[in-house]
Structure 1
Amino acid sequence: MRRAVVVFVVLVVVLATLLGVRILKDRRAAEGPAGGSGVVEGTAVDVRARLNARVLARHVEEGGRVEKNAVLVTLDCTEPEAGLSEASARLAMAQAQADGARAAAVAAGRSSEAVAAQAEGSQSQIASLADQQGLAQRQADRLQQMGDATTAAALDQARAHAQSLEQQLSAARHASTAASRQARAATEQERASLQQAESALRAIQAAEATVRRAQVSVAECELRAPLSGTVETLPLEVGELALPGAIVARLVDTHRPKATFYLPNAELAAAKPGQSATVRADAYPDRTFQARVVTVAREAAFTPRNVQTRGDRDRLVYPVEVHIDAPEGVLLPGMPVDITLGPVNDAAVAEQRP
């Protein structure tokens, strides 16, 4: 009986000691700097397909390190390449048609200039013939007025000459009218040719746009890394069909690792954007990493439905995100870390304010 009492007393003392140590540890943690525990995260980027094509080759493996612009996956490019060839042929045809339209416009312009010059020459010829006909008619009238002083042959010759000039003048006027009509027709033809040349240029622009669109599709046959990082997943195997919008690779950038921890409501005032912090990882127990607070959430997480008592208010927690300064490859995504907030630096906090 006495032995059982001794054992009971020893157990009570041990439990009381452990409880006291736990209470003291919690009190010291509460009185110490604010902080919490989190998990290292990287910047994940999903590389998605824009084509409906099969996977021809995978140039990387999961877990491998890739540099920016490295080829990750090659898709079947038969259809996009055929579209590019067709678009290039249509562009060449449009350029040939445009060349023909420009040549036709130049020829129409020269023809219009020639017809206009001919019409102008007809007007000059009409003016000259009118002067000559008037002079011949006056000469014939003077001979007629001379009466017996002139011969009948001279009078007939003068009248015949005046009549001939009258006929030439009439013919020149008809020719001038025809030349004016031809000039107007040539002008209209030149305008139509210029419009055709303009339309041909628009056709070239449309064909060039089609070629650029086809080139974009062909470029999408090789999916490249948008940043340097680690290949986390490659969900598609060779021969599988990649649908538009499907993820073909997921990269994780570990150059700037980050972590998120949660502060209770009572400690929220201790965290400010721009504030320094210290990070310790289980994988490196004798090493610390410097960090900086990036965001402090404005809304609580894990909020109870009815916040009424002081205990409920203390259960409110707010996510705090920090960016960690660590060499590449030291802190990997998924590593647990402990984060301790440092003193508030007013200058650093002011820089973070908009």
Structure 2
Amino acid sequence: MRRAVLLFVVLVGVLGALLGVRILKDRRAAEGPAGGSGVVEGTGVDVRSRINARVVTRHVEEGDRVAKGALLVTLDCTEPEASLSETEARLAMARAQADAAKAAAMAATRNSEAVAAQATGSQAQIASLADQQGLAKRQADRLQQMGAATTEASLDQAKAQAASLEQQLEAARHASTAAGRQARAAAEQERASLQQAESAARGVEAADATVRRARINVAECELRAPISGTVETLALEPGELALPGAVVARLVDTARPKATFYLPNAELAAAHPGQEATVRADAYPDRTFNARVVTVAREAAFTPRNVQTRSDRDRLVYPVEVHIDAPEGVLLPGMPVEITLQPRQAPAVAEQQP
């Protein structure tokens, strides 16, 4: 009986000691700097297909380290290349049509200028004939007024010359009217030719844009790495169909690892963007890494239905993301880490002069 009581007392003492140690440890953790546990993450980028084509060749394998711009996958480019050839032929045809329209516009311009010059010349001829006809008519009137002092032949010759100039003047006027109409028609033809040339030039621009779009589609047949990183996933095998928007490969950049941990509501004031932190990884127990807080979430990751009591508020946790300063390849995605926020330095108080 006495032995059972002694054993019970010893057991109670051990449990009490363990409980005290646990309480002391929790108190020290609560009084220590804020922090939490997280998992290392890399910057992941999905490489997607923009065209509907089959995979022809995979130039890398999962786990390979690639540089930015490295060729990852080649897609079947038969259809995009045929489309490019067609658009280039249409562009050549549009340029030929534009050159012909430009030449026609230049010819119409020269013709319009020539017809306009002819119309101007007709007006000058009318003015000259009008002067000559007026002079001949006045000469005939003077000879007729002279009476017996002039011969009949001279008078008839003067009248005939005046009548001939009158007819020439009338014919010149008709020719001038026709030349004016031709000049207006030539000007209209010139404007139409210029518009056709402008339309042909716009057609060349449209065809050129189509060629550029076709070249972009051809370039999409080669999927290249948008960043330097490690090939985490290759989703398709050669012969499989890549649909537009489908993920063909996924790259992870471990040059700037990051991690997210959760701070309880009571410790949220200890975190702010730009704050320094210390990171320890289980894989490197004797090594620490510097980190910096990038974002502190504005909303809690867990919110009880009713936040009324102190215990409910303590259950609120906020995600905090840090970027870790570590040599590339040391901290790999998925590694568990322990993050400790460095306490803020109190601002120095200037000593007052006596």
Q: TM-score, normalised by structure 2?
A: 0.93
**CA distance 1:183–1:345, change in 2 (3 Å):** farther
**Aligned twin of 1:245:** 245
Distance (whole Å) between structure 2 residues aligned to residue 42 and residue 139 of structure 1: 111
> SS of the residue aligned with 1:142?
helix
What is the aligned-residue RMSD (CA, Å)?
Answer: 1.8
- Alignment correspondent of 1:153: 153
User: How far off is 1:5 after superposition?
Assistant: 5.6
Cα distance per residue 1:216-259 (max 9 Å; x no partner): 11111111111111111111111111111100111111111111
Contact kept, 8 Å, 1:272 with 1:344, in 2: the verdict is no
1:16-74 C-alpha deviation (Å, 9 max, x unpaired): 33333322222221221111111001111111111111111111111111111111111
Partner of 1:40: 40
Q: Distance between the aligned counterparts of 2:95 and 2:204, measured in 1?
A: 6
| 1:320 and 2:320 are equivalent in the alignment | yes
CA distance in 2, matches of 1:16, 1:206: 86
Give the Cα–Cα distance (whole angstroms) in 2 for the partners of residues 121 and 301 of structure 1. 92
Q: Secondary structure at the match of 1:79?
A: helix
2:306 corresponds to which residue? 306
> Which residue of structure 2 lines up, in the alignment, with residue 290 of structure 1?
290
Tell me how far 1:344 sits from its aligned partner: 1.4
Secondary structure of 2:47's counterpart equals strand
Counterparts of 1:1-354 in structure 2, within 5 Å, are: 8-345=8-345
Tell me whether 289-298 or 310-319 shows the greater mean CA deviation. Answer: 310-319
Alpha-carbon distance in 1 for matches of 2:20, 2:304: 30
Which segments of 5 or more consecutive residues in structure 2 lack a partner in the other structure?
348-354
In the alignment, the residues of structure 1 paired with residue 227 and residue 172 of structure 2 have an alpha-carbon distance, to the nearest angstrom, of 82
Contact residue 275 and residue 345 of structure 1 kept, 8 A: no
CA distance in 2, matches of 1:345, 1:9: 49
Moved more, 147-156 or 217-226: 147-156
Please report how far the alpha carbon of residue 126 of structure 1 lies from its aligned counterpart in structure 2 after TM superposition.
1.1
Q: Which amino acid aligns with 1:163?
A: A
Residue 2 of structure 1: CA displacement? 6.3
Percent identity between the two aligned chains: 83
Q: Displacement, 1:303? A: 2.6
Q: 1:118: how far off?
A: 0.9
Q: Deviations over 1:131-186 (max 9, x none)?
A: 11122222222222222222222222222222111111111111111111111111
2:302 match: secondary structure? coil
Aligned equivalents of 1:187, 1:246: Cα separation in 2: 58
- TM normalised by structure 1 equals 0.93
| 2:334 alignment partner, SS class | coil
Give the aligned partner of residue 352 of structure 2.
none
